[in-house]
Amino acid sequence: MPLLWAAISAHGFGHAAQVVPVLNALGRLVPNLRVLLRTMVPAWFFEQHLTVPWELSAAQQDVGCIQNGPLTIDIEATWREHNRFHLTWDDRIHMEVEAMRAARPNMILADTPYVAVAAGAQAAIPTVALVSFTWDLILSEYPAPPDIAGWTLLQSIRQAYAKADLALRITPAPKMELFPSLIDIGSIAEPATSSRERLAALVRLAPGERTILVGFGGIPQTSLPFAQLEPLTGYRFLFDGPIPSDSTRFISTQSLPLSFKTLLASVDIILTKPGYGTLVEAIALGIPLVYVRRYNFADEQSLVDYLHQHGRGVELTREDFVRGRWEPAIRSALNLPMPTTPAAVTGAEEAASHLARFF
């Protein structure tokens, strides 16, 4: 039976959200496909979304960024963790190569751990990178501490990525020049079906009230300006974090019998950061998005540009977010017209067609 080794970054859920639709599409092209998920993303994420037979092999694939919540990156800690990761580089490559040879996959798919690309090349297994950014692009935005050879570390990452047999660059994405063979594909999204009427009944929505999903992805936001937002009438906020027990304006998403993806497809508006999965799904669903930017993440500008070209989006400044001054941005987003240039959500099928050739 054909086997695909999928190495997935566990920095949030965005990378897994890109890979799952591709694997589902590939399963429709390759009979009896099995998938080995090499990642620290928890199994429940795949249980909800992945339709092909799979097993999870938990192993760290990259560092990503060290963050204090979803909006603040600890730059020094990020560099130090990457440096620590590379101090054991040879051992990591050996471990991945041995595991790959034992599993005997037909191919390696990496989104976007460079250790998997380097190991796949050493194991002589066809290796494809599925990318909306690369970790060298992210790190190059940040100054390295003086005791860390940042340039040398970046070059090691780039050399590892360059060993991929093929890279599939997902729309939208920043410019990439390190892959010898690169093909651009459309955006990737696999939205759930809307349950708007059920959601309205569950939260006892009053006539004229709007639902707003407040969710920042796999790196959670743990607090909000609840006191400032409680008097804001006309809206009900669904938050994927802890809420005050006496709140009448906020509802925990954990208390609702609907998945996050179903909630995303069922609300009137989404408040989040510009992350790939949520942003592209919001565009595909035609739901307006209010976003809080980080301004130091390499793929953020391409995502924001794509949102304004194909979707409906309004920026909420970090200060206004923290102080609870949300209503003007929410009202502006709700009043935006539907875009005239719909996005081509064809990336999963395009990626699957390229990957199927390796089987």
Residue 218: give its domain's CATH number. Answer: 3.40.50.2000
Could you report the per-residue pLDDT of 328-350, keeping only the tens digit for each?
999 999 999 988 888 889 999 99
Specify the DSSP element, H or E, that contains 213. strand 210-214
Same domain membership, residue 176 and residue 34: yes
- In the prediction, which pLDDT does 260 show? 92
Kindly report the length of the chain: 359
Same domain membership, residue 203 and residue 183: no
58 in any annotated domain: yes
- Mean pLDDT score of the chain: 96
Same domain membership, residue 73 and residue 14: yes
Same domain membership, residue 236 and residue 110: no
Query: Rounded CA gap, 69 and 224, in Å?
Result: 12
105 in any annotated domain: yes
341 in any annotated domain: no
Same domain membership, residue 160 and residue 82: yes
345: DSSP letter? -
Nearest to 251 by CA among 260, 261, 242, 259: 242
Predicted confidence (pLDDT) at residue 315 exceeds the cutoff of 90: yes
Could you report the per-residue pLDDT of 140-179, keeping only the tens digit for each?
999 999 999 999 999 999 999 999 999 999 999 999 999 9
Same domain membership, residue 80 and residue 17: yes
Query: What is residue 182's three-state secondary structure?
Result: strand
183 in any annotated domain: yes
- In the prediction, which pLDDT does 218 show? 81
Query: Rounded CA gap, 214 and 198, in Å?
Result: 19
- In the prediction, which pLDDT does 46 show? 97
Same domain membership, residue 181 and residue 35: yes
Domain membership of residue 80 as a residue range: 3-187+347-358
Please give the structure tokens belonging to residue 200: 């309205």
Q: What is the pTM of this model?
A: 0.95
Mean per-residue pLDDT for 101-130?
A: 98
Predicted confidence (pLDDT) at residue 272 exceeds the cutoff of 90: yes
Mean pLDDT is lowest, of 3-7, 32-36, 159-163, 295-299, for: 295-299
Contact 333, 289 (CB under 8 A): yes
Mean per-residue pLDDT for 213-239?
A: 92
Query: Rounded CA gap, 135 and 161, in Å?
Result: 10
Same domain membership, residue 17 and residue 119: yes
Predicted confidence (pLDDT) at residue 221 exceeds the cutoff of 90: no
Contact 117, 129 (CB under 8 A): yes
38 in any annotated domain: yes
207 in any annotated domain: yes
Query: Rounded CA gap, 149 and 160, in Å?
Result: 17
Same domain membership, residue 247 and residue 163: no
Same domain membership, residue 72 and residue 90: yes
Mean per-residue pLDDT for 53-71?
A: 96
Model confidence band, residue 303 (pLDDT cutoffs 50, 70, 90): very high
Query: Rounded CA gap, 93 and 101, in Å?
Result: 12
Burial of 233 (0-12, 13-18, 19+ CB in 10 A): exposed
46 in any annotated domain: yes
Same domain membership, residue 136 and residue 246: no
- In the prediction, which pLDDT does 13 show? 92
Map tokens 């050399």 to a residue: 159
Nearest to 261 by CA among 280, 243, 278, 274: 278
20 in any annotated domain: yes
Domain count, the chain: 2
Same domain membership, residue 67 and residue 215: no
